[in-house]
Structure formats: C-alpha cells, structure tokens
C-alpha cells in the first residue's frame, strides 16, 4: 500500500468549507498584510504559549532572524546552538555576521546536550539557541541556568514544537524569545510560509513589531533598520481555522507513535524515539528512528511507495559553508552518528490504521 510521508489534502478536505470561507473573507475585505486575522491569531497563539505576546512574521527563518537581532546579536558575537537541525538555525546566525558555535546532541533526544554548553561559552558569546527537534523540547532548566550565570539571551527554536511542553511549560514560554514556523508540513501549517515569535515583555514585543515592518515607527520614520517580514492575512485566516484542532492532531500523532513503539519494541536494530522525563507533551512533528542499515530500509520504503525522509543527513560542522570555522569531521560524534542513521516515517494524524500497518510491515521486513 502506498503511504505518503505527509498528505495535506486530507486535512484540507476535512476543513474545506471553513478554510475557503476564511480565505474569501480576506479577499473581500482586502487587508492582505497584518490584517485583523493576524491580530486575532497573535492573541490566540500568545494564550496557547502562555506568554504575553506573539508576533506574526513571514517565515520561521525570519522568526529566528528577528529574535536574534532583537536579542542584540551583532557581527563578531558568538551564538551557541546545536550541531543537528534544519539549516535555518545556523544560517540566521551567520546572516547577522555572528559566529555559530556548534555543540553536540544527546543520543536519546537528538537535542543539544546541556552538559556541553558551558564549555563553549566565551567572552564573545551573546546567546544560546536550543532547538526543540522533532516536536520534543530540549532540556531547558540547565540551559536557562547557564544563560543566567553568563548573562546570555536564550532564543528557543520551536519551529517543530508548537504546543509541545516541558515540565508543563509550553514551547516558547521559557527563553527570551520563542521562534515558530507555519511551514505547511508543521503540526500547525499555513498555506505557504509564515512564522511567529513569542516573548514575555512589552519591550521585546514592541521591538519585534517595529523590526518586522522595516524598523518604522511611526510609518516612514526609522530609528533602526528593520526587516520586511509581515504575516499575510490569508495565512492567518487559514491558521485560525486550524488552530482549534491542533491539540487533537498532536494527540493523534502521539497515538500513532505509541503503535510504532509497540511494533518495533522487539526489533533490536531499531532505536525508536525516546520521550524524555521532562517532556510532558511530545508532539511528534516527525517520528524518527535510527537504524544501522538505513540505506537498505530507505530503498525498501521507496520501492513500496512509502514516504520517508532523512532529517538531517549532514551536521552543521560538516557543511561546506561553515568550513572556515575549522571544525574537524570527527567532532560532535553523537551528531555524526545521528546523521548517518536516522530516518523519519509517516505519522500525520490522518494516516489510517491500514496505512500504518503497511509502514510497520515494510520496516520490519528489513529491520525485524
């Protein structure tokens, strides 16, 4: 049975009437950028994230870029982050003229290893960017302790973790800023690019509001050079339709994950995702397993038209664009191991029981 890695058409079919009406309403009123839908969405996302403020921006990448800028990151600064994530996490640091400093990950969670962070702190360090990979938060308490000790800003890269929780605290509510993506494949996905930033303080919220609109306040008057990063009203309208369903969609992913866990429990070659003790709500943006014979499994899944992907095949310290940073290939050994062994399989909420059984059968035929 053919099983896609993700099928957004099923989600649209379920919500079609509401989504169509919401989009048409924006076309009717004509306020296409930062319209009333954006304001309503920001209020609801702030509530979801247990923060004072949320600000919609043009993408998850821009969310990181604006948050780092608002945190005062400048050329010559250093920013500590994980070695294992989507490229935007490191790319935005370089875009601001700062130097990304890569720290290895925990083998169980694939998130940055807090025990290794303090050794990477120098007098140039300005911030830490922990990534909540695959829908599970990094271990934030020790990260926040290190940040407080060294007077560093913390920007949570929560692009894959909307609604996830750490000791009952939602993603984006712990650091100075939380950065989220509305890329269509996310648990809460728009009809294109989009993102949002959470923060706790009036001052940060005001700065983000100015930064996303070219640094203008009032209009056409610029004390700072900002960015053009404004969330489209149509995207906000789509997201407002989807938002009430987010929790149940994430719970359905958890249900699928438990079935996978049970099915793969006796397969010694397969390392299934571990839910860490501090993780009170893992939303499984991806269900990522690790196996020694990944190429064989990938070939089998492709042969049977079962969706899969590798997140991520090249750690940051091995990326060609960061060669000038001087990392040796053998550095970050846990990250290296993950890059060579991980593969993600379908877990979207609309996947049927028969489809999941087809995925399980194919995986076990190679790794059982």
Predicted confidence band of residue 36 (pLDDT cuts 50, 70, 90): very high
The Cα–Cα gap between 332 and 117 comes to 12
* Mean pLDDT for the chain overall: 98
pLDDT for 218-240, tens place per residue? Answer: 999 999 999 999 999 999 999 99
pLDDT at 368: 73
The Cα–Cα gap between 323 and 164 comes to 34
Inter-CA distances, 195 with 132, 219, 242, 328, 351, Å: 15, 23, 15, 34, 26
Other Cβ atoms within 10 Å of 32 Cβ, number: 12
pTM equals 0.97
The Cα–Cα gap between 138 and 290 comes to 19
In degrees and rounded to multiples of 5, residue 40 shows phi and psi of -65, -45
Predicted confidence band of residue 4 (pLDDT cuts 50, 70, 90): very high
pLDDT for 285-337, tens place per residue? Answer: 999 999 999 999 999 999 999 999 999 999 999 999 999 999 999 999 999 99
Examine the pLDDT at 1 and tell me if it is beyond 90: no
Tell me the mean pLDDT in the region 133-157. 98
Go through the chain and tell me how many residues it has: 368
pLDDT for 200-209, tens place per residue? Answer: 999 999 999 9
* Helix (H) / strand (E) containing 125: strand 125-129
pLDDT at 138: 98
Q: Which residue has the tokens 């040796």?
A: 328
pLDDT at 75: 98
pLDDT at 71: 98
The pairing of beta strand 195-199 with beta strand 53-57: antiparallel
Long-range contacts of 352-356 (CB under 8 A, 24+ apart): 354/1, 355/1, 355/3, 356/3, 356/256, 356/259, 356/260
Q: Which of 20, 92, 13 is nearest to 237 (CA)?
A: 20
pLDDT at 13: 97
Inter-CA distances, 169 with 88, 175, 214, Å: 25, 11, 32
SS3 80: strand
Tell me the mean pLDDT in the region 59-76. 98
CB 239 within 8 A of CB 332: no
Examine the pLDDT at 85 and tell me if it is beyond 90: yes
Cβ-based neighbours of 315, under 8 Å, separated by 6 or more: 83, 84, 102, 332, 335, 336, 338, 339
237: phi > 0 → left, psi -120 to 50 → alpha, else beta; which?
A: alpha
Tell me the mean pLDDT in the region 93-116. 98
Examine the pLDDT at 44 and tell me if it is beyond 80: yes
The Cα–Cα gap between 40 and 47 comes to 11
pLDDT at 254: 98
Q: Which residue has the tokens 């099923």?
A: 10
SS3 326: coil
Tell me the mean pLDDT in the region 249-270. 97
SS3 12: helix
Predicted confidence band of residue 89 (pLDDT cuts 50, 70, 90): very high
> What tokens appear for 256 in the block?
């699928």
Domain annotation for the chain: domains and CATH numbers: 8-244 (3.40.640.10), 246-367 (3.90.1150.10)
DSSP 13-29: HHHHHHHHHHHHHHHHH
pLDDT for 150-198, tens place per residue? Answer: 999 999 999 999 999 999 999 999 999 999 999 999 999 999 999 999 9
Q: Which of 133, 109, 113, 88 is nearest to 319 (CA)?
A: 88
Which DSSP state fits 327? -
Tell me the mean pLDDT in the region 17-39. 98
Q: Beta-strand (E) ranges in 176-303?
A: 177-181, 195-199, 279-281, 287-290
Examine the pLDDT at 65 and tell me if it is beyond 90: yes
pLDDT for 118-127, tens place per residue? Answer: 999 999 999 9
Q: Which residue has the tokens 């935005």?
A: 92
* Percent over 70 (pLDDT), the chain: 100
Q: Which residue has the tokens 């009123």?
A: 29
């Amino acid at each position: 049975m053919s099983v896609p890695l993700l099928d957004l058409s099923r989600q649209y079919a379920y919500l079609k009437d509401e989504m169509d009406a919401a989009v048409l309403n924006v076309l009717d009123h004509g306020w296409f950028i930062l319209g009333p839908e954006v304001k309503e969405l920001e209020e609801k996302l702030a509530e979801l994230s247990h923060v004072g403020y949320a600000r919609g921006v043009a993408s998850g990448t821009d969310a990181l870029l604006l948050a780092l800028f608002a945190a005062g990151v400048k050329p010559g600064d250093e920013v500590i982050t994980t070695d294992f994530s989507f490229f935007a996490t490191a790319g935005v640091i370089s875009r601001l003229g700062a130097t990304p400093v890569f720290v290895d990950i925990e083998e169980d969670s694939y998130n940055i290893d807090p025990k290794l962070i303090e050794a990477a702190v120098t007098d140039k360090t300005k911030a830490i960017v922990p990534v909540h990979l695959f829908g599970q938060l990094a271990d934030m308490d020790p990260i926040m302790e290190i940040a407080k000790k060294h007077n560093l800003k913390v920007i949570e890269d929560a692009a894959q973790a909307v609604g996830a929780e750490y000791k009952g605290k939602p993603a984006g509510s712990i650091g100075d800023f939380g950065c989220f993506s509305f890329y269509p494949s996310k648990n809460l996905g728009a009809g294109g690019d989009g993102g949002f930033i959470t923060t706790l303080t009036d001052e940060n919220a005001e700065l983000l509001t100015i930064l996303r609109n070219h640094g203008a306040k009032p209009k056409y008057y610029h004390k700072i050079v900002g960015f053009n990063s404004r969330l489209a009203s149509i995207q906000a309208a789509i997201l407002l339709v989807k938002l009430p369903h987010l929790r149940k969609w994430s719970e359905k992913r958890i249900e699928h994950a438990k079935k996978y866990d049970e099915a793969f429990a006796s397969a010694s070659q397969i390392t299934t995702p571990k839910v860490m003790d501090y993780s009170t709500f893992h939303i499984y943006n991806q269900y990522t397993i690790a196996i020694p014979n990944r190429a064989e499994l990938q070939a089998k899944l492709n042969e049977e038209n079962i969706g899969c992907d590798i997140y991520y095949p090249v750690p940051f310290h091995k990326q060609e664009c960061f060669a000038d940073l001087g990392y040796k290939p053998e550095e970050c050994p846990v990250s290296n191991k993950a890059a060579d062994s991980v593969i993600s399989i379908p877990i979207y909420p609309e996947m049927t029981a028969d489809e999941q059984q087809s995925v399980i059968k194919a995986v076990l035929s190679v790794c059982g």
